[in-house]
Amino acid sequence: MESVLVLTISGEDRSGLVEQLAQVIAQHGGNWEHCRMAHLAGRFVGLLEVSVAGDAQQDLEVALRTIKDLDVMIASGDRSQPESLRQFDLEVVGTDHPGIVRDVFKALATAGVNVEELSTSTVSAPDSGVMLFEAKARLACAAEVSREAIRSELEAIAQDLMVDVRLLD
């Protein structure tokens, strides 16, 4: 039986780290399936989905935890099919300040919207040099959730947060 593992990794960024991780996974018969990885604050961090034969899972987990200078957390995954959800994208842009993520995603949670993917960044505005916050998210909700209600909720807080919010199909 095949096992699905979800790895959370963090290590001091260095050349060859991804190759070393991939080598350990391959040596134990694992299959590297999906990942998101990035350099954040001098560290290399990532999320990774790996499938492996059930009888090799324990050896793979031990080997992953012995990679030098890499913190690895391992959770069991699940490949069951989730309920059918309507998906859409969200973009948020505005002057950076604390609370944007909290307030936007509180409104979405209240409306019954699930966050499937999220990436954020701060960049210097080309004309003024002021720091801008940017977020892109892939969202999902049940078909009965009103898209207009979500839009209204976001537009109401966008003005208070001084951000532009766009829902995209």
* Winning range, highest mean pLDDT, from 85-89, 123-127, 134-138, 140-144: 134-138
Among 45, 76, 107, where does a domain finish? 76
pTM score, two decimals?
0.84
Among 10, 44, 76, where does a domain finish? 76
Total domains, the chain: 2
Nearest to 41 by CA among 122, 127, 155: 122
Tens of pLDDT, residues 13-72: 999 999 999 999 999 999 999 999 999 999 999 999 999 999 999 999 999 999 999 999
Report the CATH number that the domain containing residue 140 is assigned in CATH.
3.30.70.260
Would you state the structure tokens that stand for residue 119, as one six-digit string?
């990436």
Q: Is the pLDDT of residue 114 over 80?
A: yes
Structural domain includes residue 81: no
**Residues 169 and 151 sit within 8 Å (Cβ to Cβ):** no
